[in-house]
Amino acid sequence: MQKSRSTLHALASVLRPAPDSDALVILGRLLDSLPIGFHVTECGGGFHVIYANRVWERWLAPEKLPVAGKTLGELFPSAEAAGVLQLMREVCRTGRPKHLKGFEFRELGIVARGKPGETSQWDWEIYPLSSKTGVTHLLNVIMDVSGTRPKRDGVSAEERQAVNRRREEADGVLRIFGLAPEMQDDKEARRERE
């Protein structure tokens, strides 16, 4: 299934490349190939989704598709209770990224697929995308960090490598959007030391 041109054009309005450029088509293919989910929303109001990659859409029930133009509340009725919408409002207001780590979100992925013995754990990272007028959009990076019930031996080396690979790919998405994860990590580390 090919991503519709209208969602790519909406993404172009955020990233500011020429809407009909080959680079935008390549970018869409690249983002769809990643094993992490991400979507871009407008800042404020109901947080209308303007673009989502295929992985993110695969985590949703078919009746939720297509997601472009829908509010986050329409897609996830429990988003407010999970704290996601509050964090998004804060990022819009402050212009500082926020992270919701290791939370359970029943409307995504594994719980919906009903795999026994697994929990549904997600890392949801929210980054501001700004223009001259301030924060206009949010980049939401969602990683499935679910796993089987903890073993007595802890997490295997393969599981740690898979998580690290997903985080590296998420960093690549942030660089595409002009966000520097290394700089943000340095700021967080400095705050922790203080």
For the segment 39-91, what is each residue's pLDDT rounded down to a tens digit? 999 997 889 999 898 888 888 878 888 888 999 989 888 888 888 899 999 99
Question: Does 192 reside within a domain?
Answer: no
Residue 94's domain spans which residues?
5-187
Question: Does 156 reside within a domain?
Answer: yes
CB 119 within 8 A of CB 104: yes
Between CA 92 and CA 44 the distance in angstroms is 7
Averaged confidence pLDDT in the chain? 76
Question: Does 25 reside within a domain?
Answer: yes
**At 37, phi and psi to the nearest 5?**
-95, 145
Does residue 62 have a cis peptide bond before it, meaning omega lies within 30 degrees of 0?
A: no
The CATH number covering residue 172 comes to 3.30.450.20
Question: Does 154 reside within a domain?
Answer: yes
Q: How many domains does the chain have?
A: 1
Q: How confident is the model at residue 1 (pLDDT cuts 50, 70, 90)?
A: very low
Which residues are within 8 A (CB) of 162 and not within 5 positions of it... i.e. 6 or more apart? none
Q: What pTM, to 2 d.p., does this model score? A: 0.74
